[in-house]
A and B are shown apart, each in its own frame.
Chain A
Amino acid sequence: QVQLQESGPGLVKPSETLSLTCTVSGGSISNYYWSWIRQPPGKGLEWIGFIYSSGGTNYNPSLQSRVTISEDTSKNQFSLKLTSVTAADTAVYYCTRNTLHPTVGDVWGKGTTVTVSS
């Protein structure tokens, strides 16, 4: 059974770059859509973007200028970079596998908390 695990720094300074990795185990990263979704403390969910295993990407327009999602098939991982972060980027970040539709997560990681603070 496929499992996803997010990893990365839990604390990022304002104006710096947030970098997270999602490691996929129990299955190949190939031939699927993979997404990042975030949830600010006490709030709802926000779709960040997806990558398809061929390298195609699509991002939330509100974040597009700051977001890059990439993949490393040799490590069975995909990654998120978010530049110029502010306190508003403080959230739990989830990675998902999307089998039924490019943006509908049917398998989720447990999430990782990122706090933006000096």
Chain B
Amino acid sequence: EIVLTQSPATLSVSPGERATLSCRASQSVSSNLAWYQQKRGQAPRLLIHGASTRATGVPARFSGSGSGTEFTLTINSLQSEDFAVYYCHQYNNWPPRDTFGQGTKLEIK
């Protein structure tokens, strides 16, 4: 099983600043990685797929990068609505053996 390790577990950032979230895979997943945002009491929302492609309607301040085992989600100019939990998801294998990271909580500093 591919293990995804997200860091840090909690990130405190001030509105208007930049947040950088990390996701590390225990083995290469190529670019088969997605990022989701989950607000309290809501379903996850797809932000990024293919490691770096923004999903429809996602603001340009969200960007994804990386390949292989190291991935980053960057959020520029943090808005109040961006404070949430973020999950990475690898979908590299067929048949599917998908796994998710444990999440990074982005909180207001």
Interface residues of A (CB under 8 A from B): 44-47, 50, 58, 60-61, 94, 100-106, 108-111
Do A104 and B46 have beta carbons less than 8 Å apart? yes
Q: Within the assembled complex, what's the spacing in Å between the Cα atoms of A111 and B34?
A: 20
Interface residues of B (CB under 8 A from A): 32, 34, 36, 42-46, 49-50, 55-56, 87, 89, 91, 95-103
Contacts of A101 in B (CB 8 A): 32, 49, 91
Do A105 and B46 have beta carbons less than 8 Å apart? yes
Do B43 and A108 have beta carbons less than 8 Å apart? yes
Contacts of B99 in A (CB 8 A): 47
Contacts of A94 in B (CB 8 A): 43-44
Contact flag A106-B46 (CB < 8 Å), given A44-B103, A45-B89? yes
Q: Within the assembled complex, what's the spacing in Å between the Cα atoms of A46 and B102?
A: 10
Q: A104-B34, A110-B42 are in contact. List 10 more A-B contacts (CB 8 A).
A: A44-B87, A44-B101, A44-B103, A45-B36, A45-B89, A47-B98, A102-B96, A104-B91, A106-B46, A106-B49
Q: Within the assembled complex, what's the spacing in Å between the Cα atoms of A58 and B46?
A: 21
Q: Within the assembled complex, what's the spacing in Å between the Cα atoms of A110 and B45?
A: 11
Contact flag A109-B98 (CB < 8 Å), given A101-B49, A104-B34, A104-B49? no
Q: Within the assembled complex, what's the spacing in Å between the Cα atoms of A45 and B98?
A: 10
A43 smallest CB distance to B (angstroms): 8
Q: Within the assembled complex, what's the spacing in Å between the Cα atoms of A29 and B49?
A: 22
Q: Within the assembled complex, what's the spacing in Å between the Cα atoms of A111 and B99?
A: 19
By Cβ-Cβ distance, the 8 closest A-B pairs, closest first, are A108-B43, A47-B98, A45-B100, A103-B91, A44-B102, A106-B46, A103-B96, A103-B98
B68 smallest CB distance to A (angstroms): 18
Contact flag A47-B100 (CB < 8 Å), given A101-B49, A101-B91? yes
Q: Within the assembled complex, what's the spacing in Å between the Cα atoms of A100 and B44?
A: 16
Q: Within the assembled complex, what's the spacing in Å between the Cα atoms of A46 and B96?
A: 12
Contact flag A45-B55 (CB < 8 Å), given A103-B98, A104-B34? no
Contacts of B89 in A (CB 8 A): 45, 104
Q: Within the assembled complex, what's the spacing in Å between the Cα atoms of A105 and B97?
A: 15
